[in-house]
Chains A and B, each alone.
Chain A
Amino acid sequence: MNIIVPVKLVPDLVEELTIDSSGKALDTSWLRLILNEFDDHAIEQAILLKERIGGQVTIVAPDVEGIDDVLYTTVAKGADRLIKLVGDFAGGFNNHALARVFSAVIKELQPDLLLTGVQAHNDLDGSVGPLLAEQLGMPYIGYVAGVTLTDGNVIARKEYPGGLIAEMEVTLPAVLGIQAAQQPPRYIAVSKVRQAMKTATIEEQTAAELDPTGGLTIGRMFQPEAGAQATMITGEVNEIAARLVSFFKELGIL
């Protein structure tokens, strides 16, 4: 089975995010980029499928800062092929543009199954997965937390709120938006990643020109105001507990 996992890097929310001087975009000077958490799950799910039924796993990513380390780590996990798309990504790009760039490359690869993260926290114009699916003319199921194979058809476990699951069958080739892999993304020892750096190669392909049509123009980006702040209770722990108990009484629950 030929499985392809398109991934992207997103700003690390551990760092403080600030707006740049234009007031319309994030300040990239202190920005650290990390692998989209859901794409990490997609990679794990792909490796799990490969371990279960065999096949080849290809990772495709745009060439941004830090992508090489991410790609080598996937090899250490079990990915077979790495494709890095070289293009003018530095100026910023939206998901429509990224999906188009992916679509041009992936069309040639004739995949059976595409797995990608269901969303990313910086998605402003849809998600890469369903955009890519439509561009490739493939069906899409999102919020998938479990994938099984039966006679050439894929059963995806789709999550709804409240813990409800819908088992959906989809014909291949198809795109699945992964919410959670069947086990958490595995840890890879640094020594294995370093070994992968020596043995694996990252294929570079030129990305098509970026076409952001379908996204919207942002007029302004800002940090939300604190809004209606909570009344903070201060003091030493016994005093705080006492205040809380008196609130509980006021509210009628004690």
Chain B
Amino acid sequence: MSYNVFKSIIVLIALLVAGGIFGQRVYRLLWVTLRRGQASGHFGHWGERIKGLIVFVGAQLRLFRFLIPGTAHFFIFWGFLLLSLTIFQAILEGLVAFANPHFVLPLIGRFGLLALLQDLFAVFVTIAVLYDLYLRLFVDPERYKGSHKSQGVMVLMFIFTIMLSLLVMNGIRINLGEDPIRIWRPVSTIVGRIFAGLDVGAQGVVEEIAYWIHLGVVLVFLTELPEGKHFHVVTSIPAVFLRNLEPRGRLPKAPEFDGQVGVSSVERFRWRQMLDFYTCTECGRCQEVCPAYSSGLSLSPKMLMIDLRNHLKKRGAALEPPSSDVVVKEKTLVGEVITDQVLWGCTTCYACDQECPLFIEHITPIVDMRRYLVNEGRMDAQLQDALANLGRYGNSFGQSERMRAKWTQPIQPQLKDVRKEAVEYLWFVGDYASYSATLTDVTQKTAEVFQKVGLDFGILYEGERNAGNDVRRVGEEGLFEMLVEKNTTALNKCTFKTIVTTDPHSYNTLKNEYPANDNSSRPVLHYAELLDNLIASGQLKFSKKLDYKVTYHDPCYLGRYNGVYDAPRRVIEATGCELAEMPRNRDRAFCCGAGGGRIWMEEGEVKERPSEARIREAVKLDGVKVFVVACPKDVTMYRDAVKTTSQEDRLVVKDLIELVHAAM
């Protein structure tokens, strides 16, 4: 048998085996297991989705938020696409070697420009891979803690080997005069020169060795692809294509099991969520920006995905009809695979979902599992009390509904009662602003500002209940529905044009989750937006310019969730203050730690409170005396943090309205 026939047979067998293993693994992971997941609803918006592919996959936009690793991956990704054709070439030339040892792909194989790009990208990929190896082996950044680094290194070595062997093959073919478009392969030519000293026969042998190494590593890589993080090579494009296009602040409708929501076992997730678990590349960008993780709690969004993926694979195997006597003992999802502690650590700040280049949703599976915990009554005593109070009194403070408007007593003239008269702006005040002693002053100043500006506004008085944003994110869906019902009934009885709220959490849920509030009929504004409008229209004028240097903290539910970054900044500017940006600002703003119901929970084993870390970040800004916030929980958390970090002489925390009030 001649060598070439032998070659074709081996390539065929290897292709069938590797392809078979790859196919079988993909089939089991995607088709079988995903089918056990729950329905994921309607996708639609195909135009926007295609645009998303171009921007987020083609241009790899989110990856550049970590600039150099992002650049490296850009080249690896495009290199992969361009060079996949060379792999195709390699397989085919092997398969037809018995008939044509010098097979070249028609058209593509002679496209000079493509060959040049492939040659150049082989270099770029090699440089990127070397950088990535350096990153993993020498720098070893924190965000890789918990990732399967050895797998990453192995695959980088594979890619390096594939590039090198390709260049050697190309180079020698050029030496042997077998390449018609050699002038388009400058890099390969240079590599070929290394072997130019060998005689023709020896070069031929080297070429064949390079070929077998090239093909061998490619096929081994192929079989490894569905395991671990490299499955994202297969799932990432569908994942980005099918990403959630709903407003960020709207949690999706949950599937019900015997009338209850909540995920107690992995097949109760929607299949689209399972796709997310497979798509995680373990890059750790989410872990890097997570306030829970950095405070020392056991939650890492990355580890959450890895654990869910591993459990999904194990459980998928367990659910299949037993092929042997192997008994798969799997752990329970909630409690063993993902501990209660991990689930309660999340502040739902959205930093993880914002950062993830593949739009993986970390928050929705956490909320889904929290729903199960709530149903089982598995939560700490403080949270139980808060929920009991919310259920009975409509506020987490355990105070009577009748005390909700007590803060209005000193205000003259008395604020309008929207239950009794029509107004233009219905001011939904919020729990903290109404009941917390720390905030009474701020709330009263807000009323004064509204009155001074001549705004036609009123409040619901005792008719208002907690809007439910954090109740929902804690997992008490039934209580959330009850609060929505009560608030919606109260709202529907009133006549008004716009809802304005001082609390970004209330803002988020009123705007995105209350059914009757599509923006067209009853817009919801945060007061920063309202003030911004009033300044622009000239209705709000300032009589003096405040001359202090301030910094601004973007509240999670105003900024990251709802994209309101500029309005508060314009308001600050209009008051005459000089704004110095926090190092982590806008969509990278670092959460105060109160969200997701955590302000109602026991703190846990925290090494450094997120609020304290943020204050330490702020005091590094030269000359900044005022820390401006636009959320009542931020006022509470940061005033405390200023005390506990002993920075009372250095920094004072003010709500945006206090600046406005002082400048009027």
A/B contact in complex, CB under 8 angstroms: yes
Taking beta carbons and an 8 Å cutoff, which residues of A are in contact with B? 14-16, 30, 32, 34, 184, 186-195, 198
B375 proximity list for chain A (CB < 8 A): 189, 191-192
- Report the minimal beta-carbon distance from B404 to chain A, rounded to whole angstroms: 13
Within 8 A of A (CB), among B341-382: 374-375, 377, 379, 381
Q: Tell me if B476 and A190 are in contact (CB < 8 A).
A: yes
- Using a Cβ cutoff of 8 Å, how many contacts connect chains A and B? 51
For the complex with contacts A189-B477, A191-B477, A192-B478, 15 further pairs of A-B residues with Cβ separation under 8 Å are: A14-B399, A14-B400, A15-B400, A16-B400, A30-B402, A184-B381, A184-B384, A187-B374, A187-B377, A187-B388, A189-B374, A189-B478, A191-B260, A191-B478, A192-B375
B393 proximity list for chain A (CB < 8 A): 14
- Report the minimal beta-carbon distance from B471 to chain A, rounded to whole angstroms: 9
Q: Tell me if B259 and A189 are in contact (CB < 8 A).
A: no
Bound together, the chains give a CA A35 to CA B477 distance in angstroms of 24
Taking beta carbons and an 8 Å cutoff, which residues of B are in contact with A? 259-261, 374-375, 377, 379, 381, 384, 387-388, 391-393, 398-400, 402, 476-479, 481-482
CB within 8 Å for A189 and B400 given contacts A184-B381, A195-B259, A195-B260: no
User: Which residue of B261, B374, B387, B478 contacts A193 across the interface (Cβ within 8 Å)?
Assistant: B478
Ordered nearest first, which 9 A-B pairs have the shortest CB separation?
Answer: A191-B478, A190-B478, A187-B384, A190-B479, A186-B377, A187-B377, A189-B375, A189-B374, A14-B400
B399 proximity list for chain A (CB < 8 A): 14
- Report the minimal beta-carbon distance from A13 to chain B, rounded to whole angstroms: 10
Bound together, the chains give a CA A15 to CA B401 distance in angstroms of 9
A195 proximity list for chain B (CB < 8 A): 259-260
Q: Is the interface of A mostly helix, strand, loop or mixed?
A: loop
Q: Tell me if B377 and A188 are in contact (CB < 8 A).
A: yes
Name which residue of chain B comes closest to A184, CB basis.
Answer: B381
- Report the minimal beta-carbon distance from B405 to chain A, rounded to whole angstroms: 14
B374 proximity list for chain A (CB < 8 A): 187, 189
Bound together, the chains give a CA A193 to CA B388 distance in angstroms of 13
- Report the minimal beta-carbon distance from B371 to chain A, rounded to whole angstroms: 8
Bound together, the chains give a CA A14 to CA B394 distance in angstroms of 13
Name which residue of chain B comes closest to A193, CB basis.
Answer: B478
B479 proximity list for chain A (CB < 8 A): 189-190
Bound together, the chains give a CA A194 to CA B402 distance in angstroms of 26
Q: Tell me if A15 and B476 are in contact (CB < 8 A).
A: no
Bound together, the chains give a CA A30 to CA B400 distance in angstroms of 11
- Report the minimal beta-carbon distance from B196 to chain A, rounded to whole angstroms: 76
A16 proximity list for chain B (CB < 8 A): 400, 402
Name which residue of chain A comes closest to B389, CB basis.
Answer: A14
Q: Tell me if A187 and B259 are in contact (CB < 8 A).
A: no
Bound together, the chains give a CA A47 to CA B481 distance in angstroms of 28
B379 proximity list for chain A (CB < 8 A): 187
Q: Tell me if A190 and B377 are in contact (CB < 8 A).
A: no
Name which residue of chain A comes closest to B402, CB basis.
Answer: A15
User: Which residue of A14, A30, A184, A190 contacts B391 across the interface (Cβ within 8 Å)?
Assistant: A190
Name which residue of chain B comes closest to A32, CB basis.
Answer: B400
A187 proximity list for chain B (CB < 8 A): 374, 377, 379, 384, 387-388
User: Which residue of A15, A32, A188, A192 contacts B260 across the interface (Cβ within 8 Å)?
Assistant: A192
- Report the minimal beta-carbon distance from B625 to chain A, rounded to whole angstroms: 20
Bound together, the chains give a CA A30 to CA B384 distance in angstroms of 26
Bound together, the chains give a CA A184 to CA B399 distance in angstroms of 21
Name which residue of chain B comes closest to A190, CB basis.
Answer: B478
- Report the minimal beta-carbon distance from A46 to chain B, rounded to whole angstroms: 16
Bound together, the chains give a CA A32 to CA B392 distance in angstroms of 10
Name which residue of chain A comes closest to B483, CB basis.
Answer: A190
B476 proximity list for chain A (CB < 8 A): 189-190
A194 proximity list for chain B (CB < 8 A): 478
Bound together, the chains give a CA A193 to CA B402 distance in angstroms of 26
- Report the minimal beta-carbon distance from B484 to chain A, rounded to whole angstroms: 12
Name which residue of chain B comes closest to A186, CB basis.
Answer: B377
B398 proximity list for chain A (CB < 8 A): 14
- Report the minimal beta-carbon distance from B439 to chain A, rounded to whole angstroms: 19
Q: Tell me if B482 and A190 are in contact (CB < 8 A).
A: yes
Name which residue of chain B comes closest to A34, CB basis.
Answer: B392
- Report the minimal beta-carbon distance from B649 to chain A, rounded to whole angstroms: 13
A189 proximity list for chain B (CB < 8 A): 260, 374-375, 377, 476-479
Q: Tell me if B381 and A191 are in contact (CB < 8 A).
A: no
Q: Tell me if A191 and B384 are in contact (CB < 8 A).
A: no
B259 proximity list for chain A (CB < 8 A): 191, 195, 198
- Report the minimal beta-carbon distance from A173 to chain B, rounded to whole angstroms: 30
Bound together, the chains give a CA A194 to CA B477 distance in angstroms of 12
- Report the minimal beta-carbon distance from B396 to chain A, rounded to whole angstroms: 13
